[in-house]
Amino acid sequence: MRRILKLLVAAAVIGVAVGLWLTAPDRVAPERFASLSGDVAAGEKVFTASGCASCHHVPGAEDKLILAGGMAFPSDFGTFYAPNISPDPSAGIGDWKVIDLANAVMKGVSPKGQHYYPAFPYNAYNKMTDQDVADLFAYLQSLPADATPSKPHDVGFPFNIRRSLGGWKLLFFSDDYVMDVPADLERGRYLVEAQAHCAECHTPRNALGGLDTSRWMAGAPNPSGKGTIPALTPDKLTWSAEDVAYYLESGFTPEYDSVGGHMAEVVDNFAHLSAEDRAAVAAYVKALPAPKADTSGSSSY
Amino acid sequence: MKKSFATVAVLATLATTAMAEVPQAVKARQGQFNIMALNLGILGGMAKGQVEYNAEAAQAAADSLVAVSMIHQTALWPEGTDADSIEGTRALPAIWANIDDVVAKWGAFGEAAKAMQAAAGQGQDQIGPNMGAIGGSCKGCHDTYRAPQ
């Protein structure tokens, strides 16, 4: 069954890829960044909220700011490895310009014009402001360089053809926000949807690996094995906003269990942000609607 | 300590593999973690000001944390009681592949609990900073060794 599903998915991806052969990568207009200058301290906040180190640090290393990559991301399509994004000019991104980083995080496109895989959550980062990306660039350049080469991905045909991602992007790439919110929730939405990419883990995916926005934050199978990633929607999560903010700060649930798994890295990051930002995220979480009934019968729970 | 951990682990394997129910060792270790959470709840409630500070109750909670930290862990972690082998546990197999690291992380919890023990009776404002350190020790083990629910 699973095999058939995979073949169908493969066929669909090829179909989309061939049908949309003209899906050339879209780029950021360079003028947007010409007059912006980046601020290292502000960039550190963007970096922390966005969880860049959580994926790009060396697995098991003490120093999480050496972004030499190597962490594995298993998926239905194969295993991806986070690349080296330290400022080393050959192994990392030391020779990049701010516009290269903008194209990577906001368009999912490499300096050579290839599509990145969405395991790199650019479908969230594409909502970031230009200034935040400029600040982020300044901060990344201030980190230590490391010459360890990036590990190649372990993905089979047809997913190893980056061109076929053009089809995926046409289906799922969107820099529109998922949730409509009043003005006082905009900061929370920015943190959740544009930076902290909470939905990448907490939202189930459809057969093509796109987030099922009709079940936004409704919980999902754990991609790296046992268990499920819990729902944040009000039908399941009964915590108060204060509980959510305290969890993001301390890792403690209302029952004083303590956070685990990949969420521990999210908490490590949010513990370093301001109380206002944690409260803003909590307010967004509390505003989530209950999900629509699951009719897909696919990978969602 | 480490050595006995390993020997008993081997012996206990023999005892548990035949059982279909959640092994007693698993229930026991989950119980110990729940005792920790319960006592942290008492301290956390006081730190946040949701519960009025009471030096005696705070001290008792901190003492209990230290007491749990002194339970010998050997008998609680028989081999074959990981989440890949049986139902009813979230303990990842990586625990048994990295016993030294797990023992060190358990030790870090013990240290943090002792610091709380020294502070908890001294005033409401002494609890908060120690909550952070204890929480860090829980998180530092759960991040690699416990699966989500």
pLDDT band at A289 (very low <50, low <70, confident <90, very high): very high
Q: pTM of the entire structure?
A: 0.91
Q: Per the CB < 8 Å rule, is A258 touching B142?
A: yes
Tens-place pLDDT, residues A228-239: 999 999 999 999
Over residues A270-278, mean pLDDT = 98
Residue whose token pair is 């012996």: B11
Average pLDDT score over chain B: 90
DSSP E strand stretches across chain A: 72-75, 78-81, 154-155, 220-221, 228-229
- Half-sphere exposure (CA, 13 Å, Cβ side) for A197? 26
A–B interface: beta-carbon pairs under 8 A: 70
- Is 50 exceeded by the pLDDT of residue B4? no
Q: Is B142 annotated as a binding residue?
A: yes
pLDDT at B138 over 70: yes
What is the average pLDDT across B98-110? 97
Inform me whether the pLDDT recorded for A178 exceeds 80. Answer: yes
State what percent of residues in chain A have pLDDT above 70: 89
A251 has a pLDDT exceeding 60 = yes
Chain A, residues 207-246, CB within 8 A of chain B, namely 222, 225-230, 246
Q: Three-class SS of residue B46? A: helix
Distance from CA of B93 to the nearest CA of A (A): 11
- Whether residue A73 lies within 8 A of chain B, CB to CB, comes out as no
pLDDT band for position B11 (50/70/90)? Answer: very low
Residues of B in contact with A230 (CB under 8 A): 148-149
Residue by residue, DSSP assigns B86-122 as: SSS--B-THHHH-HHHHHHHHHHHHHHHHHHHHHGGG
The residue extents of the domains of chain A are: 26-159, 198-286
- Beta-carbon separation of A226 and B84 below 8 A: yes
Could you tell me the domains of chain B? 24-145 (1.20.120.10)
Check whether A244 has a pLDDT greater than 70: yes
- Taking CB atoms and an 8 Å limit, are B148 and A264 in contact across chains? no
Give the pLDDT band (50/70/90) at residue A160. confident
Q: What is the pLDDT of residue A108?
A: 95
Residue A133's identity, in one-letter code, is V
ipTM of predicted assembly, 2 dp: 0.84
Could you report the per-residue pLDDT of A42-91, keeping only the tens digit for each?
999 999 999 999 999 999 898 999 999 999 998 878 899 999 999 999 99
Fold assignment, A26-159: Cytochrome Bc1 Complex; Chain D, domain 2 (1.10.760)
Residues A258, B138: C-beta atoms closer than 8 Å:
yes
Q: How far apart are CA A215 and CA A218, in angstroms?
A: 5
- Locate A94 and state its tokens: 């030391």
